[in-house]
Structure 1
Amino acid sequence: MNYTMLGKSDLKVSRICMGCMGFGDAHSGQHAWTLDEPHSREIIRRGLELGVNFFDTAIAYQSGTSEQYLGRALRDFADRDQVVVATKFLPRTDEEIAAGITGQEHIRRMLDKSLENLGMDYVDLYIYHMWDYRTPLYDIMEGLNNAVKAGKARYIGISNCFAWQLTKANALAQREGFAEFVSVQGHYNLIFREEEREMVPCCREEGIALTPYSALAGGRLSKHPGESSRRLREDSYARLKYGAAHDQDAPILARVAELADRRGVSMTEISLAWLLTKVTAPVVGATKFHHIEGAARSVDLRLTGEECAYLEELYTPHPLVGVMAQNTAGAAGEDHVWSVGRQTV
C-alpha cells in the first residue's frame, strides 16, 4: 500500500479508501445486499492487513449501523491513531426546520450521534454529505467550525457539490476564520467523468483532495461483458445512475476488459489504476475479499500514457445522475429534492 497526505491536512491516508456503504443491517436501510456484522468485520480486518487505513462511512448508511459495525471492528483490530475515519451528515429534515433547529445545532446533533455509533471521541474527517439549500451556508460552515474547535472533528470535507459551491464555502470560511474543506467526495470514474469539467481543475488549483465515490461504477468497471453479481442485479440506485448510458459505456468497458486481459490483471485493477492517476484516494466499496484485494493491487499498477489515452478516448459527455441531479433540482428550488435524496445516498 502507498500513502499520501489528504489535501492540505496532516492526515496521512492510504491511496485506497474503504467505502463502508456495503456494511450494516440490511433491515435498517434501503440496500438488501449489505453485509451483516461478522462478514463486515472480516472485510475491514482484511483491508487493515493490506495497509488500508482510510475508512469512509455515513450516518445515512443503514440507519447508522454501518458506523456501528466499523467502529467496533476498528476498536478490536486497530489503534485509533493509526486509522483515518470519515463520516457524513445529511441536511436538516422538514421536522427540524419546522421546530426551528438551526444548522449549527443540527450538525452538533448529527455528529454526536455518529460519534456514539462509532464509539469514538472524534472523527478525522467530517463530510457535508450533500448541499442543503434550505439552510444558510453560514450556519453550515459555523457548525462545522464548531465541531473542529470542540475537537470532535479534525478536518472537514464535502460531497456531492459543484465547484462553485465548494469555492463559495471555502471563501466564506477564509473570510470568517472558519475551518475550510480539505477534500471533495464526488461521483467520478472511467465511465462518468463529468467532474473533469470544473471540479478536478478547481481542486488541483486549490490543493483540495479528491476522494471520489462509485469508483467502480457499482461493479460495472470490474466485470467482463456478460458477468453478473448480486450487486448488479439488486442495486436499483446504481441502475438509475448507469442504466441509461449502458450502450454509451459498453465500448469503454470492453477496452478495460481488453487491457486487463493483455496485462494479466483484473478489470478492477485497470479501472482503479487509471483513477489513481487523477485523484488522491478513491472510495472503494468492498463486500468480498477479492474486492479489497484487487483495489490494493491497483495501487502498484502503473499504466502508460498510451494506455490511459486508450481508456479515455471513447468517453462522451453524460447527463448528471443520482445525488448531483438532485442537487441541480435543489438549485432550481424543488422542495422535494431532499426527501428523494435520503432514499438514495
Structure 2
Amino acid sequence: MTAKKPQITTAGADPRLAGGRLTIDLDALAANWLFLAKKSKPAETSAVVKADAYGLGIVHVVPALWQAGCRTFFVALAEEGLRVKAVAPDARVLVLNGFFAEAFETYGQSDLIPVLGSIHELDLWKSLNARRKDKLPFALHVDTGMNRLGLSLTEALAFAADMRDQKPVLLMTHLATADEQAHALNLKQIESFQKLRGAFAGIESSIANSPGIFHARIGEYELSRPGVAMYGGEPLSSAANPMRRVVTLEARVVQIRTGLKGETVGYGATTTLERDTRIAVCSAGYADGYLRSASGSGVPLRAAVPNGGVGFVAGSKVPIIGRVTMDLTSFDITDLPVDTVSPGDFIELFGHNIALDDAARAAGTIGYELLTSLGNRYHRRYLKSESN
C-alpha cells in the first residue's frame, strides 16, 4: 500500500524571502502524545501547550492533539488559553501562572480554569466567585518540593479540612527532579502528594510532567501533563530518547567564502584559522533563537564545554566557526568536497541528523529553551497526513 503524501500547511515568512525554515511534523507530535497516553494509563493524558505550544504554534498544535484524542490542555497565561479555545472550543483549559482579579470576567466568559497556588489567590477567587450564582471551577496547586508556585503542604491540609464551597476540580503538584529518576526528591514529593490525595478524596489529581510519566507510580494519579516529550525532547537525562523527532530547523547559506591561514573569523577575532578554510555563512542567529552560547569560540561556555554547535549539510556534520551573531552563523565546510555546498542551500541546525537536545547541550542549555526561543523570521511548514 502506497503511503499518502502529507499535507503541508505553511506559516510565517515567505519562503522566497526567509533566511531559514522550520518543519514541524504534526503526525510525529500526535504519535508522541499517543505514546505518552498509553504509558500514562489508566491516567488521562493532557497536553501542555504554554509558550505558544513550545514555540510551534497553538493554532497548529492544538487541533492535531485534539484529533489524536487530547481533551485537556495546560497553558501559562489566560491569553494563551483563549487561543486554545479559539481552535478547540470544547477543550478543558487550565491556566498555570496564577490569578489576578482583573482577569475574573474573562474566566467567566471563556470557561478557562485557573490553577490557584496561594491563600491570597484562593481568598480573591472566593470573594469574586461569591457574586455569581453559578460558581466557576478552579484547580489547586500545592508545592511539595519545587519551592516555586503552590500552597505549602500545611496550608493545603488546612484548606482541605475547611473546603466547604471551595472544592477544587483538580489537585496538582509539580515534580522538580523527575528527569533524574533516582533523585531522592521524587519519592519525597510523591509521598507528600499521597498525603494530600487522602485529604482531597474524590478530587482528580495530577503530578506527572513528561519525565514523571516514566516513573513507576504514575498510574496512581488521574491526569498526566506531558510537555517537552510531545515535541520530541528528551524526557529523561539518563536514558535514550524514545520520542519521535517533531521539529527540524534549517538555515540558508548566504555565502561561501575562503579565509586564509592566520586570519581571524567573526566578532572579537576569537578564531584564528590554522589552515585555509572554506566558510559557509548562514542566515540564522540569536535573533532567530539560535543561541550565541552555541558559538565555536569567544563565549564563556567554551571554557567548560570545549565544542560548540554543529550543522549538517551534504551528508556531514560541520562545526560552527567563530561567534553566532544576531543574524548570521558561520560553519567550517573545508572538509567537504568542493562545490557540494552553494548559496541558497540549507544547513540543518537540529532535526533529522542533529538531535534537539544535542544542539541544546552544545549551547549549554536544554531543548525547552531552543524550542521556545524560535524566532518569527522562519518560513514554517506543518506536515500532516491526509485525514481518513
- The TM-score with structure 1 as length reference comes to 0.41
Q: Which protein has the bigger strand share?
A: 2
Q: Which gives a bigger RCO, structure 1 or 2 (Cα 8 Å, sep 6+)? A: 2
TM-score, normalised via structure 2 length? 0.38
Bigger helix share? 1
